[in-house]
Structure 1
Amino acid sequence: MGADDAQALFELDQDPEVMRYLNAGICTTMEQIEQRMLPRMLAYRNPKLGHGIWYVSTRADCAQLPSSYIGWILVRPMAFFTESPQLDNLELGWRFKRESWGFGFASEAAQAVAEAVAKYGAASTAPVQAFSALAVPDNLPSIAVMKRLGMQFVSQRLHQDPMWTAEIVEYRKTLTP
């Protein structure tokens, strides 16, 4: 996804249930997407390494869902917005339309993206050693996705980021060479 995808990002963030564990259900404004989200996304975007926001859609024959765009998968170095980004430990994140919940799309898409990114990163100067994910402790659906991805609990702590401060859990999957 790139700067031309503001409308898709906006559409996804208009459901309070989608935003529930991110900011207590407050919908994102188009101004926030244009002024904050897109610049942040573009800061860590690196197509050669697979870093960025991956657009997720269903196949044309998926009759259960009315639209093909169902969400996205985020990939960026852990702690990217700090002085010590972890180039070999990539953060996976996801956000999906509520209509797509319960079908396994988040797990399937995150797994496929992680596999693709690990292949991209294998040729870089900082090969991917691990994938991590963060969630608030009450976000049991996201924690279930982390577990389905083979991630293990690492810690519970206060996470501070320029856009987000919250008590979180971190899960990680270390890759074997």
Structure 2
Amino acid sequence: MTEIHTPRLLLRRWQDDDLAPMADINADPLVMRWIGDGTVLDLDQTAQAIEQWEEEWDDEGFGLFAVELLASGELAGCVGLSVPEYLPDALPGIEISWRLGRQYWGQGYASEAAQAVLEFALQDRGLDRVVAIDRPGNEASENVMRKLGLVLERETVHPEYGHALTVHSIDLTEYQG
């Protein structure tokens, strides 16, 4: 089982007990406003998403981790790697992404978890390039990207929803950690 420990977090595969807290995160309009078309997800949609994330682990050898706070055992959200099939012009890149519950924002958890995932991508999975895809105006995610060393590569448009997107990238052969 793939697990990553950071000073404050455990990044791990998904468990049955994660469904309800992740569904609560996905039901928050402020959390979801930058994701997809901004629509919140219900319990069944969250269950489907977790199932897809687990399938990607099986198919690709990477996926989205559940992010657990070591101090309390609470599920804070998810972070990890995925194939951004929704955006063909970002392929063959592997996307790093994160989604945390609002009560966990502004505490450095996203940066801490994403830093660990970049190291996992390079050291454990041998990836040489990672992208992050964002909607302009999502300053919190842009701050995480800067901290990780990702740089703006290009601007594009979401092929399904039509809104602007930015693609940031990092060459992991030059990654300093």
Question: TM range, normalised to the smaller chain?
Answer: 0.7 to 0.9
Is the Cα–Cα contact under 8 Å of residues 134 and 170 in structure 1 kept in the other structure?
yes
In structure 1, what is the equivalent of residue 56 of structure 2?
44
Deviation at 1:80, TM superposition (A): 7.2
Alignment RMSD: 2.9
SS in 1 for 2:159: strand
Q: 2:74 is matched with which residue: 48, 52, 68?
A: 68
Query: Deviations along 1:79-99, whole A, 9 cap, x unmatched?
Result: 47859952xx32101000111
Aligned residues: 161
Quickly say closer, same or farther: Cα 1:58–1:3, change in 2 above 3 A: closer
Is the Cα–Cα contact under 8 Å of residues 130 and 175 in structure 1 kept in the other structure?
yes
Equivalent residues in 2 for 1:1-177, closer than 5 Å: 1-2=13-14, 4=16, 5-22=18-35, 26-35=39-48, 37-46=49-58, 49=61, 51-60=62-71, 68-79=74-85, 85-86=91-92, 89-122=93-126, 128-160=127-159, 166-176=163-173
SS in 2 for 1:73: strand
CA distance in 1, matches of 2:42, 2:125: 34
Quickly say closer, same or farther: Cα 1:56–1:47, change in 2 above 3 A: farther
Quickly say closer, same or farther: Cα 1:102–1:29, change in 2 above 3 A: same
Quickly say closer, same or farther: Cα 1:139–1:114, change in 2 above 3 A: same
The list of structure 1 runs, each at least 4 consecutive aligned residues, that deviate by more than 6 angstroms after superposition, is: none
CA distance in 1, matches of 2:140, 2:23: 22
Give the TM-score of the pair, scaled to structure 1: 0.76
Quickly say closer, same or farther: Cα 1:154–1:176, change in 2 above 3 A: same
Give the TM-score of the pair, scaled to structure 2: 0.76
Deviation at 1:103, TM superposition (A): 0.9
SS in 2 for 1:27: coil
Amino acid aligned to 2:170: K
In structure 1, what is the equivalent of residue 6 of structure 2?
none
SS in 2 for 1:138: coil
Is the Cα–Cα contact under 8 Å of residues 53 and 73 in structure 1 kept in the other structure?
yes
Amino acid aligned to 2:148: L
Is the Cα–Cα contact under 8 Å of residues 48 and 120 in structure 1 kept in the other structure?
no
* Unmatched runs of 5 consecutive residues or more in structure 1: 62-66, 123-127
CA distance in 2, matches of 1:28, 1:6: 12
* Unmatched runs of 5 consecutive residues or more in structure 2: 1-12
Query: Deviations along 1:121-150, whole A, 9 cap, x unmatched?
Result: 23xxxxx11111011101111111111100
Deviation at 1:77, TM superposition (A): 3.1
Deviation at 1:2, TM superposition (A): 3.8
Query: Deviations along 1:60-105, whole A, 9 cap, x unmatched?
Result: 17xxxxx62111103123447859952xx32101000111111111
